[in-house]
Amino acid sequence: MKYYEVNFDGQIAPTHEFAGLSKGNIASTQHQGLAANHSRAIEQWQHKVSLIASLGIKQFKLPLVTRPDANVLKTLGLTQAQLQNCPSKLKSALLSASAMWAANAATITPSCDSLDAKVHVTPANLAHFFHRLIEVEQTQKNLTRLFDSEYFIHHAPLPNHPWFYDEGSANHLRICPDYGHSAINIFVYGHDSFNQDSSEHLQFPSRQSLQASEAIARNHKLNPKDTLFVQQNPKAINAGVFHNDVISVANKNVLLFHEQAFINTQDTIKTLKNLYSSKYPASTFYPIGIKASDLSLKQAVSSYLFNSQLVSVEDKKGEYMALVAPYECKANQAVQAVLNKILNEDNPIKQIYYLDLSESMANGGGPACLRLRVVLSEAELASLKLDDYRI
């Protein structure tokens, strides 16, 4: 049975602004208070989804998460009129258009990975920041309505507690020869809630816990033998890597990563290589490591190289991979040198496309942040009523 990568991009609410609400997200805090342009943001978003669709990727949009949320206002004893007189930070949080970054909407396990052969969906609880936490109720309803067939199992968000901080697929990697293969699932966490030593060196907050990742793996019925839990490098978090998708990206049998992405990166890659060769002896795994001497953490974060979308493209000559990168990568000489090296080496990445996503980038969101990536079989995709979500 054929499986596809399907992209569901988050829509941009009219309340889009640069409020600087996310500590540890350097772009967000640096652009706090500057003027945002909703029309430009929509235009840039449209260019991105059009490019992805033109590459043959199945592309849809998520239902809009409205702002302000009437239920949240009611809970806080506020009316629309009273909102205008709220303290500025609360007002910005209640109006935040942060649901546009759909990579944080949920973790979704394909049926080919789960032991019960079902697609499992867990909305992220986004419990670390108030402006994101208030997205969850609408997002859960939207995902339940969107993925509505016998193939899908919907789980409640994890408990809203610091032990279970969960920010969705931005901290999840899937490695396999092809989308329909049972994959190696990698959950990247920033801290172990039951081990103080795991976060004592953090200057910025960790937004994904080991306990959350473990709970999702259990609920989604992943095979423990094919599931890895890898800790982020505190140096990366302190440099502004608030999600793993700011420092590594995977597609099929390719993993593009910075050497300072994880604690003990070399050991992690060695374990992954051994597991891959054992599980898929007829396939080649391509770990593409970028050295700190070639690209510093600061340069990686400012360019958002690793937040590019890494996609598979088919043409008359066969299949290859392409990176869909923000313009900031084109303007950075160090990034260009890294990309040229990647293109000239023996690996599936053969093409790079650049996009102007300045409105999203100013809030700390590159191409990958804007989409929820889902792997679905032909039958699962056909079971969904997606006419209202086409782009």
String of b and e for 53-67 (b: at least 16 CB within 10 Å)? eebebbbbbbbbbeb
Mean pLDDT of 149-176: 98
pLDDT of residue 358: 98
pLDDT of residue 197: 75
How does pLDDT run across 285-327, given as a tens digit for each residue? 999 999 999 999 999 999 999 999 999 999 988 999 999 999 9
Instruction: Write down the catalytic residue from 131, 243, 258, 328.
Output: 243
- For tokens 């209640």, what's the residue? 94
- Distance between CA atoms of residues 169 and 108, nearest Å: 7
243 is catalytic: yes
- Distance between CA atoms of residues 74 and 29, nearest Å: 29
Mean pLDDT of 204-217: 97
Can the peptide bond before residue 68 be classed as cis, meaning omega within 30 degrees of 0? yes
Q: 39, 6 in Cβ contact below 8 A? A: no
pLDDT of residue 317: 82
Tokens of residue 267, six digits: 């050991």
How does pLDDT run across 232-282, given as a tens digit for each residue? 999 999 999 999 999 999 999 999 999 999 999 999 999 999 999 999 999
Mean pLDDT of 206-215: 98
Percent with pLDDT over 70 in the chain: 99
Question: Helix, strand, or coil here: 331?
Answer: coil
pLDDT of residue 316: 86
Mean pLDDT of 88-106: 97
Tokens of residue 2, six digits: 């054929």
Whether residue 224 has pLDDT greater than 80: yes
Tokens of residue 233, six digits: 């490098």
Mean pLDDT of 187-206: 88
- Distance between CA atoms of residues 145 and 141, nearest Å: 6
Q: 384, 146 in Cβ contact below 8 A? A: yes
How does pLDDT run across 10-24, given as a tens digit for each residue? 999 999 999 999 999
pLDDT of residue 200: 64
154 is catalytic: no
Tokens of residue 36, six digits: 């945002």
At 93, which helix (H) or strand (E)?
helix 88-95
181 is catalytic: no
Q: Tell me the average pLDDT of the chain.
A: 97
Bridge partners of residue 231, in order along the sequence:
189
User: pLDDT category, 62, cuts 50, 70, 90?
Assistant: very high
Percent with pLDDT over 90 in the chain: 97
How does pLDDT run across 104-151, given as a tens digit for each residue? 999 999 999 999 999 999 999 999 999 999 999 999 999 999 999 999
- Distance between CA atoms of residues 308 and 387, nearest Å: 27
Instruction: Give the neighbor-by-neighbor strand order of the sheet with 349-355.
Output: 309-315, 318-326, 349-355
Whether residue 201 has pLDDT greater than 70: yes
The CA-based dihedral angle spanning residues 105, 110, 111, 112, taken in that order and rounded to the nearest 10 degrees: -170
pLDDT of residue 375: 98
Q: 261, 232 in Cβ contact below 8 A? A: yes
Whether residue 196 has pLDDT greater than 80: no
User: pLDDT category, 198, cuts 50, 70, 90?
Assistant: low
Instruction: Write down the catalytic residue from 167, 259, 328, 359.
Output: 167
pLDDT of residue 105: 98
How does pLDDT run across 354-373, given as a tens digit for each residue? 999 999 999 999 999 999 99
